[in-house]
Amino acid sequence: MRKIVILLMLFGTLLFAKEFTLKSILGKEYHMEITPLSLKIKEFPNTVMILDFFGANCPPCIEEMPSLVKFQKTFSSNVRFIGIQAASKRNDKKMVIFAKKNHLNYPIINLESAKEFIAYAQENTNWNGALPFKLMYDFEGDLSYELYGMVNEKKLLGALQDL
């Protein structure tokens, strides 16, 4: 009986959503409701969401950014990226310069705004903190892919077609 109670408690924990409000480097707020298996972002309903955890000093992260920018532009009606700068302490002003330099066409959330969210993502996925790392959620908000390391347009398109 005790094992059943413990299993029910663990299952119940998975069902309860945690809410986060993350502020982008441009000051816009994004309201997220997340569980280990799903994500809803108030500002982007019924959209494939890709959370890109990256580092501003991470060469592979920076190298893949042109592919992410192109993919976002190509599929902007169905897919939304949110970049989460998860590695270095930089103020928002420096991150705005970084985003412009890399032609980023999607919202960027800085480390300071996202610390709790990053910790939650690490606790509830197989992510060990290595960058780059992406979480892809389908149109219903269900977690579909955890993408480790660099990705290109072909890999992203393959994942998108599997949804």
The pTM is what? Answer: 0.89
- Is 63 inside a domain boundary? yes
Per-residue pLDDT at 9: 46
| Span 69-93, pLDDT tens digits | 999 999 999 999 999 999 989 999 9
User: 3-class secondary structure for the chain?
Assistant: CHHHHHHHHHHHHHHCCEEEEEEECCCCEEEEEEECCEEEECCCCCCEEEEEEECCCCHHHHHHHHHHHHHHHHCCCCEEEEEEECCCCCCHHHHHHHHHHCCCCCCEECHHHHHHHHHHHHHHCCCCCCCCEEEEECCCCEEEEEEECCCCHHHHHHHHHCC
Give percent of the chain with pLDDT exceeding 70.
90
Per-residue pLDDT at 140: 94
Per-residue pLDDT at 8: 46
- Is 151 inside a domain boundary? yes
- Is 10 inside a domain boundary? no
- Is 4 inside a domain boundary? no
Q: Total domain count for the chain?
A: 1
- Is 12 inside a domain boundary? no
Domain that holds residue 112: 17-161
- Is 41 inside a domain boundary? yes
* Whole-number Cα distances in Å, 113 to 13, 71, 109: 24, 25, 7
CATH number assigned to the domain comprising residue 125: 3.40.30.10
- Is 147 inside a domain boundary? yes
